[in-house]
Amino acid sequence: MSKERIGFIGVGLMGHGMAKNIVEKGWPLTVLGHRNRAPVEDLKARGAAEATSARDLAEKSDIVVICVTGSPQVEAAIKGPEGLASAGKPLLICDCSTSEPSSTIRLAADLAPKGITLIDAPLSRTPKDAEAGTLDVMVGGDPAAVERAWPVLEAFGQRIVKTGPVGTGHTMKLLNNFVSMGYAAIYAEALALGAKAGITPAVFDSVIRGGRMDCLFYQTFFKYVLERDRDAHKFTLVNALKDTTYLAAFANAAGLANPVGSAVRNSYALAVNTGHAEDYVPMLSDIVAEMNGVKLLTE
C-alpha cells in the first residue's frame, strides 16, 4: 500500500529532525521553503520536494505537519491568503507547535466544514531527540484522525500519548512546560542563593544528581551550568515566556488561581525584557545570579 503524501511547515530546530525522519522512513515529503536555507537544502538532498507556498504544499499533500512558534504562526499558515485552507481540498493537519488550546479548538471547528481535520500533537524533549526520532508526542483529536496520523507520528516520536479531544494535546503540553520551566526557575534561584552562601554549582549538583530530585531536564540544565555547553538545552527564553503566557491565559479562562504559574512567568518576562530573549533556558541561572550580584563558579 502506498504511503500518504506528507507536507511539512517549520523545518527549524525541532522540525528539521522530524522531517528528516519522515522522508528517510519512506514517506513522500514536501517542505515549505524557509529563509534559513540550510535545513531545506539538506532535506531536498534526502529526497524531499519544496513547495513555494502553504497553498502549493496543501495541493501536494494528504497530511500536513506544522511545527512553528505558536498559534499566530499556525493560524497564518492555515488561514492566510495563500494558506493551507485556500487550496480548497480535504486535509489532515497535525499541529506539533506549542499552541494556545482555545485557538486550536476554535480553528478545528472552523476548518471542519471545509473538509479539513485538525489534530494537536505537541512535542517534548529536545532537537537532538527530533534528529534521533525519539520525541515524546501528546496527541489530541478525533480518534479516527489520530489513528490515521499515528504512523507519521511514530516516524519521529518514541512515546506517543493520546490525551483526548482536540485541544487536549496543547493543554497537556502547557502543563508539561509549566513543570519544566518551573523547575528551571527554581534551579536558577537556588543556585543564586547557594552562591550567596558560598555553595558552588558543583557542590549543589553533587547533592541533587543521582537523588530523588534528579531528572533528564535537570541534567541538560546542569550541562550548561557546569560545562558551559550553550547548546545543552536549545529552548529560548522568549519561547519559555510565550508558553508560560499561554498557561496564564488558559488558567484565567478556566477561572483558576495560579500564583506559582504567575511567578514562573515573571522570571522569564524579566529575563526577556533585560535583553536575553534568544538565550537558552539554562542561561536563566546566570541572569538571576547577575541580578543578585553573584557569579556562578564552575570550579
- What does the pLDDT read at residue 299? 63
- What does the pLDDT read at residue 126? 87
Catalytic annotation present for 173: yes
By residue count, the chain amounts to 299
- Between CA 186 and CA 264 the distance in angstroms is 9
**Is 84:93 a contact under the CB 8 Å cutoff?**
yes
Q: What is the DSSP string of the chain?
A: -PPPPEEEE--STTHHHHHHHHHHTT--EEEE--SSHHHHHHHHHTT-EEESSHHHHHHT-SEEEE--SSHHHHHHHHHSTTSGGGG-S-EEEEE-S---HHHHHHHHHHHGGGTEEEEE--EES-HHHHHHT-EEEEEES-HHHHHHHHHHHHHHEEEEEEEESTTHHHHHHHHHHHHHHHHHHHHHHHHHHHHHTT--HHHHHHHHTTSTT--HHHHHHHHHHHH--TTSS--BHHHHHHHHHHHHHHHHHHT---HHHHHHHHHHHHHIIIIITTSBGGGHHHHHHHHTT------
HEC states along 57-107? HHHCCCEEEECCCCHHHHHHHHHCCCCHHHHCCCEEEEECCCCCHHHHHHH
Write out the CATH class of domain 171-291: mainly alpha
Indicate the fold that domain 6-166 takes in CATH: Rossmann fold (3.40.50)
- What does the pLDDT read at residue 2? 77
Q: What are phi and psi of 222, to 5 degrees?
A: -80, -15
Could you give the residue range(s) of every CATH 1.10.1040.10 domain in the chain? 171-291
CB atoms within 10 A of CB 185: 24
Cell of 199: 555553595
The partner residues of 161 in beta bridges, in order of sequence, read 138
Cα R_g (the chain), whole angstroms: 20
> In degrees to the nearest 10, what's the CA dihedral of 203, 208, 211, 217?
-140
Could you give the residue range(s) of every CATH 3.40.50.720 domain in the chain? 6-166
Strands 29-32 and 49-51: parallel
- What does the pLDDT read at residue 1? 59
Where the chain has pLDDT below 70, the residues are: 1, 299
Catalytic residue among 3, 173, 196, 234: 173
Q: Which residues contact 255 (CB under 8 A, 6 or more apart)?
A: none
- Between CA 102 and CA 100 the distance in angstroms is 6
- Segment 7-36, tens digit of pLDDT: 999 999 899 999 999 999 999 999 998 888
